[in-house]
């Protein structure tokens, strides 16, 4: 058995590591768990571990000092660093001290931990082998994670991966870097979705294409493709493959995604560059109607322009209730910054508009707690899909201010959306259709709906349908399946289940109880 020592000051991390894989089945045993660096050194002296898994930041002795001391005692000790994005100043020092591997904590899973453990175990004397013994998909996942680490740190890719190994690869590589359009309707936990990882592999079940995937934070999916192109038109094949991926993610998960596609590389050391190109192309989608962009040099051209707003102009528009003029002014300010392709400049302009809206709202309604109103929070910049959605949001905030008279009411967009629901609830309407009717983006409507009603669109629609069900049930001549059809439920069994969850009693019980009350 390969002996493993775990050191992390977080109890939940230690429990997670202990339970995430079947250690003994895979040839490993955890000989000790330390909650600080001092305990780790003491346990190592007692058990002589072969592999150390340690957090960089720990009390008493940090991970760097632990590695330094233990490597002095055992030169062949293998060590795995658990790290966050902001820990790479430490990670560089860890490499110099002899750290073997890094795992980003938000990507820690049984699969990638076991992959690294097996790789390190094969490097231990009397157990020697190398990356070539790993499965092909594992190799791709391995090099993709190291490429991402190299890009978000100052650690060279060559220090993380032996670029001369891995002869099972196909001739070419490219990266599709995806961003999920934020949507409050989304119930899938993407960051922990093994199902998403497994299903995405089915999307490219071809002999000439292999795929690796990583989830970065909660809304970015990075795909590394290893491919033997069938034609000379590499760009066309790249776009076809990525479009298939995009369509299938939409079909199976109802996720709208932007994708940036890199150029093509033919060597392992090219992969960090391909990841960087894919990311930059994906970022350009923010400014484009096209949500799949192939990288070229023009994407590197980003300028910096500080666009100011004039508060007096905005106040005059609001005082005159000239929303047409105000919206034209908002368009003009944003359109002036569009050509910079600088998302940070757009963010600054967004914050300036929202900050002024806060001040005007407070002045107009004498509300000290306006800063806690969801509409006036800057964080919504990152929840909106693109440049046009940002403009829509700013216009919506000022429209809300102009329309409010005393008590709060729904904004124009939500009022119109609710009316659409009331007029069309009996058929299979979608958030996308309602957004199109209101002439705003799906991501913006999703955000606005949750802000103003306190629930998401699908819950509101279900609740409204249930209320309509109750009305029909008070007229006993309707059968349950007829009521289900009348309010937009295709499946009467699903309808019955939802009704009981929402109301607390079954359809028949409700119908029997309230029909009698009305007739008595």
pLDDT at 519: 45
Residues 290, 291, 297, 298: is their CA dihedral positive or negative?
positive
Residues whose CB falls within 8 Å of the CB of residue 133, separated by 6 or more in sequence, listed in order: 122
pLDDT at 208: 81
Q: Distance between CA atoms of 519 and 515, rounded to whole angstroms?
A: 6
| HEC-encoded secondary structure of 270-328 | HHHHHHHHHHHHHHHHHHCCCCEEECCHHHHCCCCCCCCCCHHHHHHHHHCCCHHHHHH
The CATH number of 172-299 is 3.30.70.270
Q: Distance between CA atoms of 54 and 324, rounded to whole angstroms?
A: 59
Residues of the chain with pLDDT under 50: 128-133, 198-199, 202, 370-371, 406, 517-520
Q: In Å, how far from its chain's centre is CA 517?
A: 50
pLDDT at 36: 92
Q: For residue 222, list its beta bridge partners.
A: 177, 214
Burial (Cβ within 10 Å: 0-12, 13-18, ≥19) of residue 26: middle
Q: Distance between CA atoms of 269 and 287, rounded to whole angstroms?
A: 30
| CA torsion angle 322 328 334 336 (round to 10) | -130
b/e per residue 293-302 (b: at least 16 CB within 10 A): bbbeeebeee
Domain boundary assignment for the chain: 2-129, 172-299, 311-409
Give the CATH H-level superfamily of domain 2-129: Response regulator (3.40.50.2300)
Place of tokens 């103003």: 452
pLDDT at 133: 44
């Amino acid at each position: 058995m390969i002996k493993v020592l775990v050191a992390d000051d977080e109890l939940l991390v230690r429990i997670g590591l202990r339970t995430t894989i079947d250690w003994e089945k895979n040839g490993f045993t955890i000989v000790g768990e330390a909650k600080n660096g001092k305990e780790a050194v003491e346990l190592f002296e007692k058990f002589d571990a072969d592999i150390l898994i340690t957090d960089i930041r720990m009390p008493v002795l940090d991970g760097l000092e632990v590695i330094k001391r233990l490597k002095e005692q055992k030169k062949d000790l293998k060590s795995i660093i658990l790290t966050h994005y902001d820990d790479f100043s430490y990670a560089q020092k860890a490499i110099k001290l002899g750290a073997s591997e890094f795992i980003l904590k938000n990507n820690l899973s049984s699969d990638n931990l076991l992959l690294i453990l097996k790789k390190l175990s094969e490097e231990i004397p009397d157990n020697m082998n190398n990356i070539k013994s790993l499965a092909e998909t594992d190799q791709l996942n391995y090099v993709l994670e190291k490429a991402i680490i190299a890009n978000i740190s100052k650690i060279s890719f060559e220090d993380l991966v032996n670029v001369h190994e891995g002869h099972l690869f196909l001739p070419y590589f490219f990266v599709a870097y995806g961003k999920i359009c934020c949507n409050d309707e989304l119930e899938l936990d993407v960051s922990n979705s093994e199902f998403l990882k497994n299903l995405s592999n089915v999307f490219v079940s071809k002999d000439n294409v292999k795929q690796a995937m990583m989830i970065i934070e909660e809304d970015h999916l990075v795909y590394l493709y290893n491919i033997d192109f069938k034609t000379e038109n590499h760009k066309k094949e790249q776009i076809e493959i990525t479009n298939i991926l995009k369509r299938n993610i939409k079909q199976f998960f109802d996720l709208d995604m932007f994708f940036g596609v890199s150029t093509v590389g033919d060597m392992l050391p090219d992969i960090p560059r391909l990841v960087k190109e894919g990311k930059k192309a994906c970022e350009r989608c923010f400014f484009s109607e096209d949500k799949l962009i192939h990288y070229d040099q023009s994407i590197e051209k980003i300028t910096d322009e500080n666009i100011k707003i004039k508060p007096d102009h905005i106040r005059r528009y609001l005082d005159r209730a000239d929303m047409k003029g105000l919206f034209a002014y908002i368009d003009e300010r944003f359109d002036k910054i569009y050509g910079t392709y600088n998302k940070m400049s757009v963010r600054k302009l967004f914050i300036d508009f929202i900050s002024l809206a806060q001040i005007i709202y407070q002045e107009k309604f004498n509300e000290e707690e306006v800063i806690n109103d969801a509409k006036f929070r800057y964080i919504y910049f990152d929840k909106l899909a693109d440049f046009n959605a940002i403009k829509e949001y700013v216009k919506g905030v000022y429209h809300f201010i102009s329309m409010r008279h005393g008590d709060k009411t729904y904004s124009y967009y939500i009022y119109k959306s609710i009316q659409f629901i009331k007029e069309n609830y009996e058929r299979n309407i979608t958030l996308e259709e309602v957004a199109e009717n209101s002439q705003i983006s799906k991501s913006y409507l999703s955000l606005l709906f949750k802000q103003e009603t306190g629930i998401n669109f699908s819950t509101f629609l279900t609740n409204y349908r249930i209320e309509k069900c109750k009305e029909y049930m008070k007229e006993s001549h309707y059968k349950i399946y007829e009521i289900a059809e009348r309010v937009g439920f295709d499946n009467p069994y699903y309808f019955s289940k939802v009704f009981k969850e929402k109301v607390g009693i079954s359809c028949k019980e409700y119908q029997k109880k309230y029909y009698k009350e009305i007739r008595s």
